Amino acid sequence: MEHITRKKKLTPFQTIILGFAAVVLAGALILMLPISSASGRITPFHEALFTSTSAVCVTGLVIHDTGTYWSYFGQSVILLLIQVGGLGVITVAASFALLSGRKISLLQRSTMQEAISAPKVGGIVKLTGFILKATFLMECIGAVAMMPVFIRNHGAFGIFMAFFHSISAFCNAGFDIMGKTGGQYSSLTSYRSDIVINVVVMLLIIIGGIGFLTWEDVYTNKIHLKRYRMQSKVIFTVTGILILLPAVFYYFFDLSDLPMKDRILGSFFQSVTPRTAGFNTYDLTALSGVGKAIMIALMLIGGSPGSTAGGMKTTTLAVLFASAAAVFRRQEEPQMFGRRVDNQVVRYASAILIVYVTLFSLGAMAISGLDKIPIDQCFFETASAVGTVGLSQGITPSLGVGSHIILMVLMFLGRVGGLTVIFAAISGNHPRVAKLPQERITVG
């Protein structure tokens, strides 16, 4: 009897995970080299791995200050990892394939679809081209806008600083190289009063976090709002609310003692940056308990699907609220902007919420137990990690190796997506066709 062995192909979800893991590992090995550190010493593997994971997962949590610990070569490697992580490993790989003239197979197109959360496989190659052009255009515009400020303060090095912070902001990474001038881990605090830096960075964060599919919708339909997809309308609405309401709170409470200009800039900046950029212009440890709680919620929500941002996503929040509203109104299916939402989407949204809350909570409790740190600080740090934000209460550099591993896992899961990991792990299981007997259970 002839035995035929078939090589098992990786699913799109498994390809995405392995692709990100491979880039993280390669980045860590390069950052270990003496040339990557400013001191010329070899960086321990777990510290290099943490930095690489944070860069590829566009998070921004760091063990060492990026501006002082890493050499120009190391900073350039980190910037490249941020760019690859922001675009997505699969998008970058597909781009090289297109440039080399190779044809993209159906399986590769399906993987690209999952990687950028596209609604269909058709037109995926064209969409990839749009993503690349839009990304580089916005990053260049941002860099040129900030260049005069940085050149004025840092000379020729200001050119590199402009591009570094523009790419970091658009990719929602939160890495900065301000350590030499503003002090270690200072982020953008030395530019809290600079209108150009504040406005440009905020716009880059918002544009990068809105999502490429939404901007393609805008590019295609221009000002004809009625033609926009329901998803685009939801994203713009939720994004606006999540920027405005927290900004109002910070303006009237946490930043109420500042001069008017700084107060307005600071309020909007602290509202924008948790979703999910990781820059800050004020000392976050000085925020009130409510201010920190709002920031944790914003970090967990994150940006929008198909964007450079992480988190549960704005659409997940919208679907959950629409589902609750449907229950209150005794409707069978949620409705938004005159369209019905499939109940399967509601189940996905509920699962995503549970995954993120579970990771965020268990991670915080584990770190608090390992390093004997107050749980509220740990909640802030784990929300920042799983939401791929990068904001910190300043405890990450002092944590032990065990806690660093926990944060690395949270950053990785937050970037590739909790459901992606689950789908990759159970890809061999087929959906059950048979239905079990139904029985009522009371909730609420």
pLDDT in the model for residue 325: 94
* Residue 432 predicted with pLDDT over 70: no
pLDDT in the model for residue 146: 97
* Residue 428 predicted with pLDDT over 60: no
Q: What percent of the chain has pLDDT over 90?
A: 62
**pLDDT tens digit sequence for 142-195:** 999 999 999 999 999 999 999 999 999 999 999 999 988 888 898 999 999 999
Per-position b or e across 357-371, b if 16+ CB within 10 A of its CB:
eebbbebbebbbebe
| d(C-alpha 334, C-alpha 339), whole Å | 8
The pTM of the full predicted model, rounded to 2 decimals, is 0.90
Local confidence band at 6 (pLDDT 50, 70, 90 cut-offs): very low
Yes or no: say if 247 and 271 are a contact pair by the CB < 8 Å rule: yes
**Residue 91 preceded by cis peptide, ω within 30:** no
* Residue 30 predicted with pLDDT over 90: yes
Task: Write down the residue that tokens 């605090």 correspond to.
Answer: 189
pLDDT in the model for residue 307: 84
**pLDDT tens digit sequence for 56-114:** 999 999 999 999 999 999 999 999 999 998 887 666 666 666 666 666 665 566 666 66
Local confidence band at 430 (pLDDT 50, 70, 90 cut-offs): low
pLDDT in the model for residue 119: 61
Give residue limits of the domains in the chain: 12-423
Over residues 298-312, the mean pLDDT reads 89
Yes or no: say if 320 and 314 are a contact pair by the CB < 8 Å rule: no
pLDDT in the model for residue 95: 63
How many CA atoms lie less than 13 Å away from 180 in the CB half-sphere? 14
Q: Residue 304: which of 373, 429, 213, 398 has the closest Cα?
A: 213
| d(C-alpha 390, C-alpha 381), whole Å | 8
Q: What percent of the chain has pLDDT over 70?
A: 86
Yes or no: say if 310 and 58 are a contact pair by the CB < 8 Å rule: yes
| d(C-alpha 340, C-alpha 101), whole Å | 41
**pLDDT tens digit sequence for 204-231:** 999 999 988 898 889 888 888 888 999 9
